[in-house]
Amino acid sequence: MLIDTHCHLASPTLVGEMDGVVERAIAAGVTRMVIIGTDLEDCQICIDLAERYPQIYAAVGIHPCSVTEVDTDDWLDQVAAWAAHPKVVAIGEIGLDYYHDAPDGWTTETYHQRQKTFLERQLELAVQLGKNVVVHNRESWDDTVDMVRAYNGKLRAVFHCHTSAWAAAEPLIAANHLVSFTGIATFKNAAAVREAATAAVPGQFMLETDAPYLAPVPHRGKRCEPAHVRHTAEAIAQFRGESLEHLAAHTTETARDFFGGLGSM
């Protein structure tokens, strides 16, 4: 039994064939999916999907690449209202993204500042609600870690799609945060991910797809879906010299602990 702890099933490329996506996941042994909201439209879709499928749980939040599209002042109240839903198990996807250019009408400075404001307010909300957070960082590692560090001991964060060496993750792990690994672990040129996924001990990491992105080998370059987390699990189990069953058992336990339940399986 495996859990895809981070996928975007509200994506237009997946949402239209959800019965098939869920069936294929179950057939691959992926019996829980945590689907991750990124903006005010798709958080609502995530809630609807979580209500429809017992296998689906949700995280809600405003992704750093969506902060300039939010044009209401009550966005945080909306996130808080969704977070009260019994199947919402985290706040996310939140974080900082310095990879993408500022959209029209924004400078790099005002764009990054708005991302920081959104991250800060959602971290505060998570503490108030007693939820953990799903964190995105891209070319923004130091600032993201600095901002989350202020909440050490008050919440736990998963730094998703970890692609650096394990040494980079160690300060986070020491503060009781987690990382998660995507299908990048199956790519031939991903030596750092292989090293990190091998060095991590049980309880320090989870598995994810980030579907519809980052499909693992043998689906690389195609649309990714939660069933594919099995390929990532098989590859990581092999680097670690442990059985797929053992890896599945401890990553599932880590996810259940981090998200607070996910129902009886």
Minimum Å gap between C-beta 148 and Zn ion is 16
User: Nearer to Zn ion by C-beta: 169 or 237?
Assistant: 169
Stretches 17-25, 83-91, 204-212, 236-244: which one binds Zn ion (CB under 5 A)?
A: 204-212
User: Nearer to Zn ion by C-beta: 39 or 210?
Assistant: 210
Q: How many CB atoms lie within 10 A of CB 14?
A: 21
Minimum Å gap between C-beta 183 and Zn ion is 13
User: Nearer to Zn ion by C-beta: 93 or 225?
Assistant: 93
Minimum Å gap between C-beta 232 and Zn ion is 15
DSSP secondary structure letters along 49-103: HHHH-TTEEEEE---GGGGGG---TTHHHHHHHHHTSTTEEEEEEEEEE-SSPPP
Pick out residues in 208-237 that bind Zn ion (CB under 5 A): 210
Helix (H) or strand (E) holding 42: helix 40-52
Pick out residues in 58-117 that bind Zn ion (CB under 5 A): 93
Cis peptide before 195 (omega within 30 of 0): no
Minimum Å gap between C-beta 36 and Zn ion is 5
* 103-116 core/surface letters (b: 16 or more CB in 10 A; e: else): eeeeeeeebbebbb
User: Nearer to Zn ion by C-beta: 42 or 210?
Assistant: 210
Count the residues of the shown chain that bind Zn ion, applying the rule CB under 5 A.
Answer: 2
Residue 26, phi then psi, degrees to nearest 5: -60, -40
User: Nearer to Zn ion by C-beta: 212 or 237?
Assistant: 212
Stretches 124-132, 169-177, 202-210, 220-228: which one binds Zn ion (CB under 5 A)?
A: 202-210
Stretches 112-120, 148-156, 192-200, 203-211: which one binds Zn ion (CB under 5 A)?
A: 203-211
**Amino acid of residue 217:** V
84 exposure class (CB count in 10 Å sphere: 0-12, 13-18, 19+): exposed
List interacting residues with Zn ion (CB under 5 A).
93, 210
